[in-house]
Amino acid sequence: MTYLLTNTTPTMMNKRRRRLHTSHGRQRSLGITAVIILVALSCLFQTVDSFVLPQQQLGSTGVGISVPTIRSHATPLTPRPLPTQFPTKSSNPAASTALKATGIEPVLLLGSAVGHILGGNLATPIVIDAVKTWYTRIKKPSWTPPNKIFAPVWTLLYGSLGVALARVAHASAGNWQSLPVLAWGCHYALNLVWAPLFFGMAKLRAALVVNYLLVASMPVIFKLFAAVDRTAALLLVPYTAWIVFATILNHSICKLNPMDGTGYSRALMEKEIAALQKEAARKVGLMEKAKKMGVVH
């Protein structure tokens, strides 16, 4: 019981919780600022693209009205029929893609970015609870990044992913049910499962399997995005590098915290100890409250 009560008084736990929430709040603010800058840059690129779109490319597909050549006075001018093709329905896939990639609304970019960030933060309470208890006690490789960098990195990555998805949906004529969008939706849902598995349930190996699936699906998603919008595909590169790194880190933590013959690991043990400490602290707090009220002496 002495071990369970060590460093678990209600006052100390509240101070730790406030410090941790303040730290995460500052880190998320940095990430959100970076996302706003990213959205602004994407809008700038869209504006530039709309001005540099070569008109020759559109003209080669029959788009536009060709001016009849000047002939001699002896030969009557024969009017040419108007073209049946227009820029919005060009038969040239490259020109069509270029047209679809321009004029995207900043609200769409920002909304998609914010939506991805909010979705990625659903598991934040679970992560904070694990980081301040059992996660700090298990063995980790020496090259594990400090906890304070994860919040801004993930905020920036989720924001860039939201921008990429918005560009792909817009380039697909606003179709949010296209194959690239649906493929990304499945991948994103799988991404959100990782944190509850790893931090919420201490299932290190199940989380590692999810990481393997995330990495394995990225080449397919990258190809689908690149076929629609090259910039959107490039926005996937930092995220891909990060989840590869996260998979290696997850694998190393699994090796340093092996399971016994019954499937019980040190991570699960530390999680159960943390739960007992929390319960003990709660009962101590109730006892202190009861003493102040004069119920017990």
Q: Is 65 inside any structural domain?
A: no
Q: Is 7 inside any structural domain?
A: yes
Provide the 10 A C-beta neighbour count for residue 8. Answer: 20
- End-to-end CA separation in angstroms for the chain: 21
Q: Is 162 inside any structural domain?
A: yes
Tell me the backbone φ, ψ of residue 265, rounded to 5 degrees: -120, 170
Q: Which residue has the tokens 């919008």?
A: 229
- Tell me the sheet residues that pair with 265: 259
CATH of the domain at 19: 1.20.1260.100
User: How many domains is the chain built from?
Assistant: 1
Residue 170 has a pLDDT of 92
Expressed as residue numbers, the domain containing 115 is 2-53+88-274
Q: Is 288 inside any structural domain?
A: no
Q: Is 80 inside any structural domain?
A: no
pLDDT in tens, the chain (297 residues): 444 444 545 455 555 555 555 555 555 555 555 555 555 555 444 544 444 444 444 444 444 444 444 444 445 555 555 444 434 333 445 444 444 445 688 999 999 999 999 999 999 999 999 999 999 999 999 999 999 999 999 999 999 999 999 999 999 887 788 999 999 999 999 999 999 999 999 999 999 999 999 999 999 999 999 999 999 999 999 999 999 999 999 999 999 999 887 778 889 999 999 889 889 988 888 878 777 777 665
Give, in degrees to the nearest 5, the angle at Cα 179 between 178 and 184.
Answer: 105
For the packed helices 150-171 and 93-100, what is the interaxial angle rounded to 10 degrees? 130
Q: Is 81 inside any structural domain?
A: no
Q: Which amino acid is at 137?
A: R
Reduced to 3 states (helix: H, G, I; strand: E, B; else coil), residue 265 is strand
Q: Is 63 inside any structural domain?
A: no
Answer for the pair 236, 222: CB distance below 8 angstroms, yes or no.
Answer: yes
Q: Is 58 inside any structural domain?
A: no
Q: Which amino acid is at 104?
A: I
